[in-house]
């Protein structure tokens, strides 16, 4: 009985989406400066796709939120022409549980090319310079909305970081 209560309490706790602390420091925000925008790439695993939480379900909302927040949204061609090759990669991962429960994670990260300080001849085509992650659980029928809500919370965190560094630029700092 105690084991059942403990398991129920743990699952109840996980039913609420949890945001894991973002890598959002002054240094990480500095890496967003002068990017000119980001190319949005959304990915998901098969379990998310089967639950209806595929990238197509969220792409327009993410793009609209960034555009409305004055974060430049780049085409793939514009991203590849940018020396930083800035990409906002969104990864959705789901796992089906018993009774129709779905556990999920939403990972949002800014990737860009980087050059090593100790040897400037070494260039990394993809370095993660900012990230935010959220995890949660949902019923199968509520997965699309729950994952979408967690995703938009992560996008809001990115917009806040982007806006903060660009407000400093405009303020002459």
Mean pLDDT of the chain: 84
Average pLDDT over residues 24-50: 88
Q: What percent of the chain has pLDDT over 90?
A: 62
Q: Are 108 and 80 in contact (CB under 8 A)?
A: no
With a cut of 70, say whether residue 19 has pLDDT above it: no
Q: What is the pLDDT of residues 66-79, one digit of tens each?
A: 999 999 999 999 99
* Residue 23 pLDDT class (50, 70, 90 cuts): low
Place of tokens 């555009």: 67
Answer yes or no: are the C-beta atoms of 53 and 143 closer than 8 Å. Answer: yes
Question: Cα dist. 122→34, 79, 85, 119 in Å?
Answer: 22, 21, 16, 6
Is the pLDDT reported for residue 54 higher than 50?
yes
Domains of the chain and any CATH numbers: 17-170 (3.30.160)
Q: Is 35 exposed, middle or buried (0-12, 13-18, 19+ CB in 10 A)?
A: buried
Question: CA-CA distance, 145 to 12, in Å (whole number)?
Answer: 18
17 vs 142 pLDDT, higher one? 142
Rounded CA Rg of the chain? 18
With contact defined as beta carbons under 8 Å apart, do 29 and 165 qualify? yes
Q: Are strands 101-115 and 123-139 parallel, antiparallel or unpaired?
A: antiparallel
């Amino acid at each position: 009985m105690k084991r059942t209560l403990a398991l129920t309490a743990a699952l109840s706790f996980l039913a609420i989406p949890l945001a894991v602390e973002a890598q959002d420091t002054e240094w990480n925000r500095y890496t967003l400066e002068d990017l000119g925008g980001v190319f949005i790439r959304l990915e998901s695993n098969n379990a998310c796709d089967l639950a209806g939480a595929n990238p197509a379900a969220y792409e327009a909302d993410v793009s609209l939120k960034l555009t409305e927040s004055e974060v430049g949204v780049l085409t793939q061609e514009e991203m590849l022409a940018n020396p930083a090759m800035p990409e906002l990669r969104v990864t959705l991962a789901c796992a089906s549980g018993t009774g129709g429960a779905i556990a999920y994670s939403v990972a949002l990260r800014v990737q860009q090319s980087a050059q090593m300080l100790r040897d400037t001849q070494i260039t990394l085509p993809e370095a993660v310079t900012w990230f935010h992650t959220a995890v949660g659980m949902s019923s199968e029928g509520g997965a699309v909305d729950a994952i979408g809500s967690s995703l938009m919370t992560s996008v809001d965190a990115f917009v806040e970081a982007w806006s903060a560094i660009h407000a400093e630029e405009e303020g002459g700092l």
